[in-house]
Amino acid sequence: MAAYRLLHERVDYPLHLGVTEAGTPSMGVLKSAIGIGGLLCEGIGDTMRVSLTADPVEEVYAAKRILRACGLRRSGVNLISCPTCGRTRIDLIGLANQVEQALAACEKPITVAVMGCVVNGPGEGREADIGICGGGNGAGGAAQSKVGEDIQKEMTLSFMDAAKGCKKTVAYMRNAPCESCKGTGAKDGTAFKTCSRCGGKGVVQSVQNTVFGRTIRQGVCPDCGGTGKIITEKCADCKGKGYIRKEAEITFNVPAGVNNGSYIRKRGGGHAVQGGVPGDLIIVFKVEPHKLFVRDNFDLKIDVPVSFKTAALGGVVKVPGVDDTFDFTVPEGTQSGQIFTVRGRGIKSATGATGNLIIRVIVEVPSHLTREQKRVLEETDAAIDLKQYDKRKKYADVVESLYGTKPY
């Protein structure tokens, strides 16, 4: 890794990352994640290969997972699952593997949580886009917690606010927990009795005998809605709903590097629900286009027009970046459309890695020339030998060989 860091500081060439002879998938992926992933998080590396003693397809999957873990690839599923424990009553390992295989071809940037019990499941599931949670068997179980609806708000950011990060405030209407009853819906928050149907567990079971055997189904108690309690006297302020409609305002930090479709989740900022926990506020970002830059993940692309003289003789032009402008040297003999990469002048990601600035030089031909200007250009063009034009010379040779005539 030290050699890569030294090369990155001293040369401006694309760097290929890889761990030679990494081994079988079990250890090869681990070694590659440490070596390649560590350099990528420092903004080092342009191409990569994960070398495994396995099907080459596995190398591609491993590379994509490393990029996703480093925050450099936004497509694909981020799967979260918990270790098994004594509370697990389902085949969690088999289910997690089944979900992973089913979503292997999914390119949507979503998070899926596969959790084994009702203790960890609701919390992790709320943070994910899709949550799968195993239930209990009802023995000694606590009442299930209800979760309010999420609220989704769209926020438009300027190109530079999205690139550099900023602080924003959003105001919106929500069903907020009632302060008088603490969201319970009961007078003083204490006017309850235990639900007689579920015995305070919040869940009920039904047993059914079928040709395949005896099945037990567990669901939320319809009488108490999963709280395990029945309100005996309603709160006067919220009329037993547990929430009051009101305007909310939240100030938050927008991390650097967000893009169109990126979002942040503010836990508990959504709608409240009687006897449960509020949903989340999900803020989805829409980024305005820039007048000069085009964004490609964390790289920035820009067209820089230069004169014929600058392209032919070389020169220095001011090029803008994320924070300021800098001097860029156009090499002598630069062709129109030629691409140059300036490392570390792109957008900084949440992991600390920084993209590059990709400059495309456009040689602009002047228009509305005066007679004197035309005369000077004609004399200059006549003084330049055709052999000094690589592309024109190659074109002329091919035309003459095929058609027997000179194009110029």
Q: Are the beta carbons of 372 and 380 closer than 8 angstroms?
A: no
Tell whether the model's pLDDT for residue 121 goes beyond 80: no
What is the C-alpha to C-alpha distance for residues 350 and 341, in angstroms, rounded to an integer? 22
pLDDT in tens, 276-295: 889 999 999 999 999 999 99
Domain ranges for the chain, please list them.
1-73, 76-136, 190-228, 294-403
Write the CATH number of the domain with boundaries 76-136: 3.30.413.10
Asked whether the predicted pLDDT for residue 135 surpasses 80, the reply is no
Among the listed residues 71, 72, 256, 250, the one whose alpha carbon sits nearest the alpha carbon of residue 161: 256
User: In 178-238, where do the E strands start and end?
Assistant: 192-194, 203-210, 213-220, 229-231
Q: How many residues does the chain have?
A: 408
Average pLDDT, the chain: 86
Q: What is the mean pLDDT of residues 122-151?
A: 66
State how beta strands 294-296 and 299-306 pair: antiparallel
Interatomic CA distance for residues 399 and 341, integer angstroms: 34
pLDDT at res. 93: 84
The model's pTM: 0.62
pLDDT level of residue 106 (50, 70, 90 thresholds): confident
- At 22-44, the pLDDT tens digits run 788 888 889 999 999 889 888 88
pLDDT of residue 140 exceeding 60: no
Give backbone dihedrals phi and psi of 203, rounded to 5 degrees, phi first: -130, 150
Classify domain 294-403 by CATH architecture: Sandwich (2.60)
d(CA 71, CA 351): 6
* Chain segment 216-229, per-residue pLDDT in tens: 666 778 888 777 88
pLDDT for residue 199 is more than 90: no
Mapping DSSP onto H, E and C, the string for 79-148 reads EEECCCCCCCCCCHHHHHHHHHHHCCCCCCCCEEEEECCCCCHHHHHHHCCEEEECCCCCCCCCCCCCEC
Closest CA to 109 of 144, 143, 74: 74
Q: State residue 275's pLDDT score.
A: 79
* Residue with more model confidence, 373 or 349: 373
Comparing CA positions, the residue from 407, 299, 290 lying closest to residue 354 is 299
Q: Which of 348, 309, 351 is nearest to 330 (CA)?
A: 309
* 80-107 average pLDDT score: 80
Across 130-142, average pLDDT? 57
